[in-house]
């Protein structure tokens, strides 16, 4: 058990050092030697013991970052009882995570063009977004059944909402260019609320969702 705990902790240490190295230097320059230096190890063999190559390491980074983000978002949604409340929490949590984890977002941006699936094919933005789109589609459908949301095409609305979150992520990865994320969050919550609410629902600000 102690060995398993130590191995898990060491892998997490390597992933963290790799995220910081890729975010700072870029994917191409993030060699095992550079990551070793960042992690404070004596030799790259410490990394090779846990990861056979850079490809395995970057897949682990993606899994870890996405899992952490999912836990953060789901944790915020679980406190809500209605579909509209869950949707608001989803939007706010996604944008909060983007704001609070700039290194992870920078690392994913660098990794993206180099990521391959099991067949060796590159991931596309559509394939990367698909799990989130499906989850949103289910939530929107649930809200229509409960009467929270008006009648619309859940798939199209899910793609639209996810696209708005990804747009903020791209802005932040590029240095934000003057984007006020708090204002963006408020406007997105209001806009999605107006787009999904039933006609008899409240129309004022945050109460829309």
DSSP 8-state symbol, 113: G
Query: What local confidence, expressed as pLDDT, does residue 198 receive?
Result: 85
**Which phi and psi (to 5°) does residue 51 adopt?**
-135, 125
User: Residue 188: what pLDDT?
Assistant: 97
pLDDT for 162 equals 95
pLDDT tens string, the chain, 209 residues long: the values are: 445 778 889 999 999 999 999 999 999 999 999 999 999 999 999 999 999 999 999 999 999 999 999 999 999 999 999 999 999 999 999 999 999 998 998 898 889 888 877 677 766 667 777 889 999 999 999 999 999 999 999 999 999 999 999 899 888 766 656 689 999 999 999 999 999 998 764 444 444 56
Q: What is the pTM of this model?
A: 0.82
pLDDT of residue 91: 98
How many residues would you count in the chain? 209
CA distance 209 to 14: 41
Residue 17 · residue 39 · CB < 8 Å: yes
pLDDT of residue 113: 84
What pLDDT, in 10s, does the model give residues 73-85? 999 999 999 999 9
pLDDT at 1 (0 to 100): 47
Q: Give the residue from 130, 98, 9, 107 showing the smallest Cα distance to 58.
A: 107
Q: Are 63 and 18 in contact (CB under 8 A)?
A: no
Residue tagged 């008006």 (tokens): 150
Helix or strand holding residue 105 (H, E): helix 102-111
Q: What is the pLDDT of residue 169?
A: 85
């Amino acid at each position: 058990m102690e060995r398993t705990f130590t191995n898990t902790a060491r892998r997490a240490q390597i992933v963290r050092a790799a995220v910081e190295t890729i975010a700072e230097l870029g994917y191409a320059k993030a060699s095992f030697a550079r990551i070793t230096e960042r992690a404070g190890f004596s030799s790259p063999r410490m990394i090779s013991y846990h990861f056979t190559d850079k490809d395995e390491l970057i897949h682990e980074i993606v899994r870890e970052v996405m899992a952490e983000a999912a836990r953060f978002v789901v944790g915020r949604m679980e406190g809500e009882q209605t579909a509209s409340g869950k949707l608001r929490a989803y939007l706010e949590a996604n944008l909060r995570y983007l704001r609070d984890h700039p290194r992870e977002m920078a690392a994913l941006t660098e990794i993206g063009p180099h990521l391959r699936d099991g067949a060796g094919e590159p991931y596309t933005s559509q394939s990367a977004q698909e799990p989130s789109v499906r989850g949103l589609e289910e939530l929107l459908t649930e809200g229509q059944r409960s009467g929270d949301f008006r009648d619309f095409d859940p798939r199209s609305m899910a793609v639209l909402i996810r696209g708005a979150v990804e747009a903020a992520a791209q802005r932040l990865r590029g240095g934000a260019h003057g984007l006020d994320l708090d204002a963006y969050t408020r406007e997105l919550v209001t806009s999605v609320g107006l787009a999904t609410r039933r006609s008899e629902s409240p129309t004022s600000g945050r109460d829309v969702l």
